[in-house]
Structure 1
Amino acid sequence: MELQCVSTTIFVFLLLPIAVTSSAETSDNNGCCGGVPGVPGSPGSPGSLGSPGRDGRDGRDGTKGEKGDRGEAGARGLKGGSGKIGPQGPNGAMGIQGSKGDLGGKGDKGEATQQLNWKQCVWKRDDGKDAGLIQECRFKKEHGHTALYVAYAGSLRIIGSHRCSRWHFTFNDRECTGPMTIDAVDFTSRSNDIHRHRQVEGYCENIPAGDVRVGFHIGKCVGYTLADGYTGWNSVSRIIIAEMSPAQQ
């Protein structure tokens, strides 16, 4: 509710002396006898409050103010997580060839590589032995972790009907056990006297370093009658022995 303030005007009436004019003076006023002016009336009551006027029109935009001072730097934000790996970019252009570098210093003297330790035993002899040692060859084994490669090359033959002979190597009078024996067999069902060049070879491991007596023998096959054997007829026979490291095998 709005409060209305009503102003009250207070009139002060001054009693002024009224001059009495003569009839002659009165008659000069338009020739009529005028009366005395009346007392002003009292003010009327204020009227009721009018209805609100319409909203005024929007004013024009004010002029742009001057640029303010730069604010203080904000606090550093937290480190973001790793983004996904982007696709591989195209290959770049080939770069310019660099200049030749300085000559390097002389390197240290390298160690000598291990020389192959090997031996060959050769003979020419017709040996008609059916069982026993045919030839022995001595060898100096330098290392314990190496293997011995042995091979026989020469002519062999047997005679007999359903007979079998076996040639094999021994090392210090024992057959190889690392991993298996080194041998070959020949079986015949007829008594044909045919001599052929044959080769028997293999590797033997677990032989300690030192002097090794490598023997080549002939004997019977298990379960068969001993045949009439012949070794080295009319040809050169040879035994080859070589010490081999695991990388050379």
Structure 2
Amino acid sequence: MPATTTLQCLFAVLLFLDIVESNSPKDQGCGGSGVPGIPGAPGHNGLPGRDGFQGQKGSHGMKGTKGDTGQNGATGKTGPKGNLGPTGQMGIKGEKGENGKNGENNTGNSINWKQCVLNRGEGKDIGLIQECIFNKRHSSTALRVAYAAPITLYCPGSTCCGRWYITFNGAECSGPMTIEGIVYIQGTNDNPHRHRQIEGFCENIPSGAIKVAVHVGNCPGYGSSDRYSGWKSVSRIMIEEYPQSQK
């Protein structure tokens, strides 16, 4: 190839390289600025990132100092006194009651009592032993009656029960209960001779002459047996009139 042609080719190559370098953004040399290229399309949004690790718990702060105690507040003033309420009306005066009755004289001479003495024995197994008439002064009083005597019961090798009781005008006491006593022996040959006393109060008895009597009989559920009242000793029926108890 001729030398002239070779130089022309070399010059053309250098010119091309110069044009290329002048269009490159890295080179702001002597060449002029090239025409800006067409902007590219925006890229897609990236994926959300992971949550970060939880931080360590901070240490407690120091305890603060205790504050000063506050002062007591001042006492409030006393409130005004309230007005007096209306005065109530006086009730109607009641009628005068009736005069009470004079009380009974409670001296020794006013005590009402009686004693009937029996200086004999009574071998009845069932029936009346002794009667004593008593003059009762008041219907509102009670009578205290006591029968004291040796009482015997005998039933060899068997079981027996005897009942001694008080009546008022032929009837046993019902205010509040009967006045009675029993002797019981079970399956022995004993023949006890003992002094015993049966006593009690009876209420709701009218005033006047009262027949107070001692009887002997069978215990409920038991038959007759050998009984004796007042063996070798004095027996007594004692009667006293007392104010009736308050219910």
1:122 corresponds, among 95, 117, 121, to: 117
Mapping 1:179-218, distance limit 5 Å: 179-189=176-186, 190-218=188-216
- Aligned-partner residue type, residue 220 of structure 1: N
Q: Hey, what's the Cα distance between the residues in 1 that align with 2:117 and 2:168?
A: 18
Q: Hey, what's the Cα distance between the residues in 2 that align with 1:211 and 1:131?
A: 25
| Secondary structure in structure 2 of the residue aligned to 1:208 | coil
Please say if residues 111 and 241 of structure 2, whose CA atoms lie closer than 8 Å, have aligned partners that are also in contact.
yes
| Secondary structure in structure 2 of the residue aligned to 1:169 | strand
Shift, 1:123, TM fit: 1.3
1:140 corresponds, among 135, 144, 155, to: 135
Tell me which residue corresponds to 1:220. 218
Shift, 1:246, TM fit: 2.9
TM-score computed with the length of structure 2 as normaliser: 0.55
Change (3 A) 1:141 1:191: same
1:170 aligns with 2:162: no
Deviation sequence 1:216-244 (CA, Å, 0-9, x none): 00001110121210001000100110110
| Number of equivalenced pairs | 145
1:151 aligns with 2:146: yes
TM-score computed with the length of structure 1 as normaliser: 0.54
Matched residues, percent identical?
50
Name the structure with the higher helix share: 2
Could you list the structure 1 runs, at least 4 aligned residues long, displaced by more than 4 angstroms after superposition: none
Q: Hey, what's the Cα distance between the residues in 2 that align with 1:145 and 1:137?
A: 21
Q: Hey, what's the Cα distance between the residues in 1 that align with 2:160 and 2:104?
A: 52
| Secondary structure in structure 2 of the residue aligned to 1:229 | strand
Which stretches in structure 2 are left out of the alignment for 5+ residues?
A: 1-79, 84-101
Which stretches in structure 1 are left out of the alignment for 5+ residues?
A: 1-78, 83-109
Q: Hey, what's the Cα distance between the residues in 2 that align with 1:132 and 1:182?
A: 16
Deviation sequence 1:139-176 (CA, Å, 0-9, x none): 00010111110001111010012011100000001111
Shift, 1:126, TM fit: 1.5
Tell me which residue corresponds to 1:59. none
